[in-house]
Amino acid sequence: MPQIKQSDKQASEEAVRAWSPIYYGWIIVAVCFVVLTLISLVATSFPIFYVPVLEDFNWSRGSTAIALSIHLILSGVAAPFAGGLIDRFGPRLVMPLGALLTGSALVLLSRSTALWQFYVTFGLFAAIGSSTLHITPLTAVVSDWFVRHRGTAISIVVAGPGAGQLVILPLLQNLINRMGWRHTYLIFGLAVLIVPTALVLLFLYRRPSDRGLPAKQELRLGKSGARVVSMVEDGEVIEPKTRIDRRAEVVILDKKWVETDWTVGTAVRTQRFWALTLVMALVAVGFFLISVHLIAYLVDKGYSPLMAASVMGFQGLINIIGTLLGGMLGDRIGREKTLTLGMAMFIACIVLLNIGGFIVSPVCIYGFAVLYGIGYGMAFPALMASVADLFQGKHFGSILGVILLSGYFGAALGSWLGGLFFDLTHAYRWNFLLAGIVMLSSAALIWKAGPSQVRLLTTVPPNQ
């Protein structure tokens, strides 16, 4: 194989720099990160608005939580359609319209006086609008911009919700304390309308070809008679020898499975598909049994609303760490072990939360936040990677959308059950017990899916 001379390599790098001093894909990642950071708070901020809304209207906790359940169900149902709209019309048209609908819904929510208005504005309009700016379409956009660094790029975007909980959630709680929940929803709605719209119109493009920058391109360099081919991936020059001597290789363990042209129709006829679907649903049930009612639980047990919000913000920081850790561990020890470890941490955090309800102890509560953030943070990238390991192919997006839909339904069920259990028992012990059971069940089911039995990432020494 011909070797690339230093002069040829310099020419390759100059060609790359001619595109842009910074590969534009990373700007796409930054935009998607900011958009998801803000949009994810439409749902995750519900718990801090939940308490003052209940105080103002004296509605039951179960009936009020239905607003979030409606929102989550419709978000899941709308996500595949939102992806189709973006594929057809592009993000620069669809996403600003979604921001307009979501922002307007939150502004209307600030003027609501009846429960049905919450169901319509938050449950219906905000759900449909935010689905065009959420994780499914953003992941699709980022994936088209990267080849070698696709996993890293997606993990950065997925860390957005944790960053939102860390930075913006305490700010929203402060605004509620100072101005009330109505004015806070008004300000939040205007931010959701303006910020994503500006970023999308100024910086976001669906594919590299929209800016004349392919994510993967061959550079043919060298003097006549000594033609050399370099590969440009993600804005970097990759020499042929480097491509051969990659240190990490994916080993195919089930060739027949990998060679199958998976569609939604063929995937649903496999046990692995349903195992992953159940894992996604159960993890969402367990998470929302706790998260939606966390602020109300802590306030009931004697913690201040500001401290409760700060605990959620701190958990957001830890969630970012857990998300990145989950991606790295999944590549090293396998998806099954990573998710099982995350669920063990989540069950341990429930124990600490229960103890923190008997004795007012910030140490217990912040310990809970650490285990909570790492446990759930590790689970999500392990699940996403598991779906990719099993059902890679041209229909992967459709299969992923269906599996993620089960997560939305699980989240809606968990939100509603948490409020119902409290209305029936005036306590949260059933929430804790059920959350522990479903998390344990999800850990068992990921082994049934067995992604590491199909594809296994292993380390290969250089030049082997």
User: pLDDT digits over 159-173, tens only?
Assistant: 788 788 778 888 888
Give the pair of three-digit tokens for residue 227.
Answer: 């033609």
**Is the pLDDT at 296 greater than 90, yes or no?**
no
pLDDT band at 213 (very low <50, low <70, confident <90, very high): low
Place of tokens 């039995």: 453
Helical packing angle, 181-203 and 46-57, nearest 10°: 150
Per-residue confidence (pLDDT) for residue 228, from 0 to 100: 41
Per-residue confidence (pLDDT) for residue 437, from 0 to 100: 92
Final residue in a domain of this structure, among 166, 194, 210:
210
Q: What percent of the chain has pLDDT over 70?
A: 80
The Cα 421–Cα 336 span in angstroms is: 31
206 & 300 share domain: no
Greater model confidence, 375 or 234: 375
Q: What percent of the chain has pLDDT over 90?
A: 18
Which residues contact residue 131 at a Cβ distance below 8 angstroms, ignoring those fewer than 6 apart?
A: 74, 75, 78, 79, 81, 82, 98, 137
Lowest mean pLDDT among 101-110, 237-246, 264-273, 361-370: 237-246
Final residue in a domain of this structure, among 210, 225, 256:
210
Averaged over 144-159, what is the pLDDT?
A: 71
Give the H or E element holding residue 229. Answer: strand 228-233
Output the CA angle 59-64-68, nearest 5 degrees: 170
Q: At residue 379, what are phi and psi to the nearest 5 degrees?
A: -70, -40
Give the H or E element holding residue 355. Answer: helix 335-358
Name the maximum alpha-carbon separation found in the chain: 83
Question: How many helices (DSSP H) and strands (DSSP E) are in the chain?
Answer: 22, 5
Greater model confidence, 219 or 372: 372
272 & 219 share domain: no
Q: Which of 318-322, 387-391, 399-403 has the highest mean pLDDT?
A: 318-322
**Is the pLDDT at 388 greater than 90, yes or no?**
no
Greater model confidence, 287 or 136: 287
81 & 57 share domain: yes
Greater model confidence, 215 or 417: 417
**Is the pLDDT at 459 greater than 80, yes or no?**
no
Per-residue confidence (pLDDT) for residue 427, from 0 to 100: 80
188 & 334 share domain: no
Collapsed DSSP state (helix, strand, coil) of residue 319: helix
Half-sphere exposure of 348 (CA within 13 A, CB side): 16
CB 238 within 8 A of CB 232: yes
Per-residue confidence (pLDDT) for residue 13, from 0 to 100: 47
296 & 236 share domain: no
386 & 290 share domain: yes
- Counted domains in the chain: 3
365 & 395 share domain: yes
Q: At residue 456, what are phi and psi to the nearest 5 degrees?
A: -135, 125
pLDDT band at 17 (very low <50, low <70, confident <90, very high): very low
Per-residue confidence (pLDDT) for residue 1, from 0 to 100: 42
Per-residue confidence (pLDDT) for residue 104, from 0 to 100: 93
The Cα 308–Cα 49 span in angstroms is: 12
pLDDT band at 397 (very low <50, low <70, confident <90, very high): low
pLDDT band at 107 (very low <50, low <70, confident <90, very high): very high
**Quick count: other Cβ atoms within 10 Å of Cβ 109?**
25
Structural domain of 259? 245-464
**Is the pLDDT at 149 greater than 70, yes or no?**
no
Averaged over 328-341, what is the pLDDT?
A: 82
DSSP H helices in 90-209:
91-109, 115-118, 126-131, 135-143, 150-158, 160-179, 181-203
The secondary structure of residue 261, as a DSSP letter, is -
Which residues contact residue 116 at a Cβ distance below 8 angstroms, ignoring those fewer than 6 apart?
A: none
153 & 283 share domain: no
Give the H or E element holding residue 249. Answer: strand 248-252
308 & 415 share domain: yes
Which residues contact residue 313 at a Cβ distance below 8 angstroms, ignoring those fewer than 6 apart?
A: 165, 166, 167, 169, 170
10 & 35 share domain: no
Task: Give the chain's radius of gyration (CA, Å).
Answer: 23
Mean pLDDT for all residues in the chain: 78
Q: At residue 129, what are phi and psi to the nearest 5 degrees?
A: -65, -45
Averaged over 314-340, what is the pLDDT?
A: 80
pLDDT band at 141 (very low <50, low <70, confident <90, very high): confident
Lowest mean pLDDT among 120-129, 179-188, 285-294: 285-294
Per-residue confidence (pLDDT) for residue 151, from 0 to 100: 59
**Is the pLDDT at 456 greater than 90, yes or no?**
no
304 & 328 share domain: yes
Averaged over 270-291, what is the pLDDT?
A: 90
**Quick count: other Cβ atoms within 10 Å of Cβ 64?**
19
The secondary structure of residue 180, as a DSSP letter, is -
Which amino acid does the sequence have at 458?
Answer: T
Averaged over 209-231, what is the pLDDT?
A: 51
pLDDT band at 148 (very low <50, low <70, confident <90, very high): low
Averaged over 98-104, what is the pLDDT?
A: 92
What is the CATH classification number for the domain harbouring 75? 1.20.1250.20
361 & 255 share domain: yes
Greater model confidence, 320 or 5: 320
Which of these, 210, 41, 232, lies nearest to 141 by C-alpha position? 210
Averaged over 41-61, what is the pLDDT?
A: 84
The tens digit of pLDDT for each residue in 20-41 reads 567 888 899 899 999 999 998 8
CB 206 within 8 A of CB 127: no
Backbone conformation region of residue 398, classed left if phi is above 0, alpha if psi is from -120 to 50, else beta: alpha
**Is the pLDDT at 238 greater than 80, yes or no?**
no
Which amino acid does the sequence have at 203?
Answer: F
The Cα 207–Cα 210 span in angstroms is: 6
**Would you say the pTM of this structure is higher than 0.85?**
no
Averaged over 454-459, what is the pLDDT?
A: 61
Helical packing angle, 24-39 and 150-158, nearest 10°: 30
**Is the pLDDT at 276 greater than 60, yes or no?**
yes
Per-residue confidence (pLDDT) for residue 194, from 0 to 100: 93
Per-residue confidence (pLDDT) for residue 68, from 0 to 100: 82
pLDDT band at 233 (very low <50, low <70, confident <90, very high): low
